[in-house]
Each structure stands twice: as C-alpha cells, then as structure tokens.
A and B are shown apart, each in its own frame.
Chain A
Amino acid sequence: MAFTKLQQWLLALATFSGFWATLVAKAAQPQHFLHKHEFLVLALPVILIGLFGIYAVFTVLYRVFTFNNCEEAAEELNKQIKQARKDLTSKGFSFEKVK
C-alpha cells in the first residue's frame, strides 16, 4: 500500500532531522568551518519555518487580492432570472404560492 500523506510528512521530517543533526555535530567541532556559524546552524529549522510562514502569508494574501470578482456573471444571472420568470409565466407556470 502507498504511504499516507502523514507518513510522507514524517519521512521527510525524519530525513531533514538526520541531515540537520549531522550539521549540528559538525558545527560543534572547533576545527570545522561550520563552527563559526554554529548559531545559524542551530537556528536553521526556525529560519526555514519562518521563511515558509512568510511565503505562505504572501501567497494567501496575493490570492485573496487576485480572487476574481465576477460582477458580469452576477449581472448576467439577474437578467436571466427576469427572462426565466417571463418565459415560465408565459408557459403557464405560477410563481405564486399555491394554497
């Protein structure tokens, strides 16, 4: 059976954690070049989450502001409602409530 979405996320998370742990271990060694950036390495998950958050907020806002307002569709519908009422009445339909 295929992985569920939850399992896929957990797998990706585990992979990233492994990768990050390696980086942290390397940055802890004084002779390693990453040692100078130890804080950056430690903060990496927070930075990535923050960046993704910014991306998410901007994407959603952009989509809200570019969400089409269908004024013409509403106008067309209103016209057609009048047409329909006229046509149906001529065919013997009664819009009044019976009884």
Chain B
Amino acid sequence: MYPKRETRSAKMARDNEEKSRTGDKYSILLPTYNERENLPIIIWLICQYLDTSGFNYEIIVIDDGSPDGTLDVAKQLQKIYGEDKIVLRPREKKLGLGTAYIHGMKHASGNFIVIMDADLSHHPKFIPEFIKLQKEGDYDLVSGTRYIGNGGVYGWDFKRKLVSRGANFLTQLLLRPGASDLTGSFRLYKKSVLENLVARCVSKGYVFQMEMIIRARQLNYTIGEVPITFVDRVYGESKLGGSEIIQFAKSLLHLFATT
C-alpha cells in the first residue's frame, strides 16, 4: 500500500504546528493615539503575515484615550480576530512611550515583544524576518534599520534626509553603539531584556529608542539588525522641529557622559 501523499495544506499545517511547539510567543505592542484610520490596516497586515508564517502571537493595543475613537475601532477588530489575538489595554490619557511599554508588557503573555509604530510607517512583513534572525543568532534584541542594505525611507525630502544622516553620523562617532539605526522604533526584544532596559531608561519621546539601544550595548546584550523600509505617509510635515533637535542633542550629550 502506498503511503498517503501529504497535501500541501496539510504540510503547511504541520510546519506551523512545529513552529508553535517551540513554545515561543510574540507579543506585539501597538501604542496608539488617534490611529482610527491606520489601526485596522496594521492589524490586518500583522495577522496576514504572521498567520501565514505560523508563529504564535498576540497584538496588544495600548490606546491613550484617543478622541478619534481608536478604541472603538480596536473593539470591532477584537470581535473579528478574537480576544486571544487582540488584547486591549487602554489608558485614560496620553502618557509616555516608556510607560506604554511597561503597561503593555504587564499584560503580555509572550516571551518575545515586538514594538512598532501603528501609523503604517513600519510594515509587518518584516516581523517574520526579525524572528528568523533572532532565532539564528539567539539575539537579545533585533532592530530594524533604515540605514543599511536594502533599508530606506519613502517620502523624505533632502533636508529631512540630511538631518537624519547628520544626526546618525554624530551619534555613531560619539557613542559607537554597535547598531546603525538608533532612533528607529521597530524592534524585537526578549521580554526579560526589554523589561530590564525600560526600567533603566529615563528619556522621553523618540530619544527613548536611542537610549534603549545604548543601554543595551552597555549591558552587553547582543543586537541583530534587519534592513527595513520606512514609509512616511505624512507629507510636508517635518517631525524634526527645533525643540526635537535640542532634545536630541541633550540626550546625546547625557549618554556620552554617562555610558
């Protein structure tokens, strides 16, 4: 008697089962504020890519009291995808990014945490790449980078690119962090590593991401990097104003003197 030929879908199901049997679970933290338009798309994309790759995951939405009804949108999505996939952990009002991660992590059941922006500038298709690289090198954290390989940006003019490259050059020179993208916020962490780092970081805003990776180097954590494309869909509005640059310079000097 011939052994039954395995169908393709049966093989895929078996592969997927094997992946979840490793016991790894990925908790994706999505801090949101007025992301009513983007949240359904980003969640659809995450599910699309992670369901096909077969990893065990959950999405934790941390909405900071968005007036545009982001939370209602999240509730609708929860009905479609289920409460085990979409976890809602809203907060009353806008609080810092660092506390959003602490808040989200408290409720995370995964042993790995993915952090990303919910505004579609970070594409979920890179998450399986992060996971693959993490497994290959058993890295403590994997960081997306716009600055090497096929990485890049969309929607940035000359000035924005110049400020970005200039700031990066200066930071690399002064801090030698062992990672090429310091201010990016698309990363995969081992949960214990993220907990340890968040507890040590004091910066606010996007500088927080830089401090996280510098502290990671200081604590001798291993860092892997995956080139990512960053699609900026907000035209004409530069997020790098004078106050951001001053804040950046201050943190840079602080880290220069203390790490």
A30 at interface, CB cutoff 8 A: no
Does A77 contact B123, Cβ atoms closer than 8 Å?
yes
Main DSSP-derived SS at the B contact region:
helix
Contacts of A73 in B (CB 8 A): 123, 152, 154, 229, 231
Task: Report the minimal beta-carbon distance from B247 to chain A, rounded to whole angstroms.
Answer: 19
> Which residue of B is nearest A67, CB measured?
B161
Closest 3 CB pairs of A and B: A68-B152, A73-B229, A70-B229
Main DSSP-derived SS at the A contact region:
helix
B95 at interface, CB cutoff 8 A: no
> Which residue of B is nearest A94, CB measured?
B76
B178 at interface, CB cutoff 8 A: no
The contact sample of 26 A-B pairs, CB cut-off 8 A, is A4-B256, A4-B258, A5-B174, A5-B255, A56-B169, A60-B162, A63-B147, A64-B162, A67-B152, A67-B165, A68-B229, A69-B152, A69-B153, A70-B154, A70-B230, A73-B152, A77-B123, A84-B40, A84-B44, A84-B45, A88-B40, A92-B80, A93-B40, A93-B77, A95-B40, A97-B69
Does A6 contact B256, Cβ atoms closer than 8 Å?
yes
> Which residue of B is nearest A2, CB measured?
B218
7 further A-B pairs in the complex, CB-CB below 8 A; given A69-B153, A73-B231, A74-B231: A9-B174, A59-B169, A60-B165, A60-B169, A69-B152, A74-B155, A77-B120
Does A74 contact B41, Cβ atoms closer than 8 Å?
no
The contact string, 1 if C-beta is below 8 Å from chain A, for chain B 155-167, is 1101001101110
Contacts of B156 in A (CB 8 A): 67
Partner of A60, one of B44, B153, B166: B166
Give the size of the chain B interface in residues (CB under 8 angstroms): 40
CA distance A91 to B154 in the complex (A): 31
> Which residue of A is nearest B175, CB measured?
A5
Does A91 contact B174, Cβ atoms closer than 8 Å?
no
B17 at interface, CB cutoff 8 A: no
> Which residue of A is nearest B42, CB measured?
A84
